[in-house]
Amino acid sequence: MTAVVLATACAMVYGTADFLGGMATRRSRVLAVVVLSQITGLAVAVVLLPILPGTPAPVTLAWGAASGLCGAAAVVLFYRALATGVMSVVAPITATVSAVLPVLFGLAVGERPEPMALVGVVLALLAVLLVSRDSSGGGSGGGYGPILASLAAGAGFGGFFILLAQAPAEGGAWPLVGARLASVTLIALLALTTGRTLRPGPGTLRVIIAAGVLDMVANVLFMLAQQRGLLSLVGVLVSLYPASTLLLARQVLGERLNTVQTVGIGFTLAAVALIASG
């Protein structure tokens, strides 16, 4: 039950961080938002070191760095897919792949959730697919390129969860430090080589900082959840984060949910209940 609570809270915090990051990208360059939020996350991870003490062993930092590189590459691919494709195609592909991979990995390494929990996993995967749908776009949007980028982005996000879960529990917050050091370095180098500015747009710095803080808090919740539960269950619960992003958009921006997304929200609640009961 503790793992379910932590994973559900993680999804809510991830969704809030994504909402704030999306708001910031309306007035700032994407790479600027990503780099500055990641630097903020790195600072938070350093602050957490005395609270979540551990040993910075090479294997701990290596797993963290691998997850960070995977996550950073996923962000770049995801935004590239959004720029060249249709959100109603890109978002559900990315979200679904990122949810499926931890489940498959967990089952492959011998995890065996209870039958009711497995039903919840199926509902959760459907929920991820439905809440990520967007009725604003149309057409195929750029052929196979955006679809391939979406698949790769989803694999990157799923890989982030899987790789971070491999870091030893005794590492404390050090895997997150390694992850952020690697991701900040990769995105900063990408920005420098492409000549993109890292200066935030007017009035966006506080929003970017808040997104970075919440993203790191979500990472901590995920790490704690997977240490206490099955990755095949924790990973799919965490991947329900688009639901909280949608609800925030509705409350803050007045955006309306379409019928498919509303059904997905219902599936989300049912999935959490079933996984908790299993």
CA-to-CA distance for 160 and 174, rounded, in angstroms?
Answer: 15
Is residue 140 scored above 60 in pLDDT? no
Encoded tokens for 156? 């990157």
The pLDDT tens digits for 72-102 are 898 888 877 866 776 667 777 888 888 889 9
Structural domain spans, the chain: 2-277
Global pTM reads 0.86
Q: Report DSSP letters for 156-178, one per residue.
A: HHHHHHHHHHTS-GGGTTHHHHH
Is residue 109 scored above 60 in pLDDT? yes
The runs of H, that is alpha helices, within the chain are: 2-25, 30-48, 58-84, 87-108, 115-131, 144-165, 174-194, 205-228, 231-238, 241-253, 259-277
CA-to-CA distance for 188 and 109, rounded, in angstroms?
Answer: 35
Give the per-residue pLDDT at 267: 87
- Under 8 Å between Cβ of 80 and 141: no
